[in-house]
């Protein structure tokens, strides 16, 4: 029986005997959440979505108080993310 939409190949997957937190930390949070590196991918994605919603809600809450606070927070987040990326990419001495 042919399927209308063929299934994609399963990603590389590693069963972990450790607990949820140690498995997520061992394989990397974003790797587990976005690439399903082990069986705790859905758990890591729920944590990731929770953190994203808290961050978004905080920025919107600050925008309701004072838009300047919101803009400053966004600039701070983007700046720190860019700085960490450049430190990792260029292998500069970190903190």
> Does residue 13 sit within a domain?
no
Number of domains the chain is built from: 1
> Does residue 84 sit within a domain?
yes
Q: How many helices (H) and strands (E) does the chain have?
A: 4, 0
> Does residue 95 sit within a domain?
no
- pLDDT 10s digits, 40-70: 888 999 999 999 999 999 999 988 999 998 8
Of 1 and 36, which is predicted with more confidence? 36
Distance CA 41, CA 24 (A): 8
Distance CA 24, CA 47 (A): 11
> Does residue 3 sit within a domain?
no
Q: pTM, whole model, 2 decimals?
A: 0.68
> Does residue 10 sit within a domain?
no
Where in the sequence is the domain holding 60, given as residue range(s)? 20-90
> Does residue 27 sit within a domain?
yes
The whole-number pLDDT of residue 19 equals 86
The whole-number pLDDT of residue 13 equals 74
């Amino acid at each position: 029986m042919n399927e209308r939409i063929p299934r994609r190949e399963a990603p590389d997957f590693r069963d972990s005997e450790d607990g949820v937190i140690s498995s997520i930390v061992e394989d990397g949070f974003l790797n587990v959440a976005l690439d399903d590196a082990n069986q705790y991918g859905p758990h890591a994605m729920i944590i990731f979505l929770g953190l994203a919603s808290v961050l978004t809600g905080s920025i919107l809450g600050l925008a309701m108080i004072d838009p300047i606070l919101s803009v400053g927070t966004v600039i701070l987040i983007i700046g720190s993310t860019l700085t960490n990326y450049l430190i990792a990419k260029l292998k500069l001495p970190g903190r």
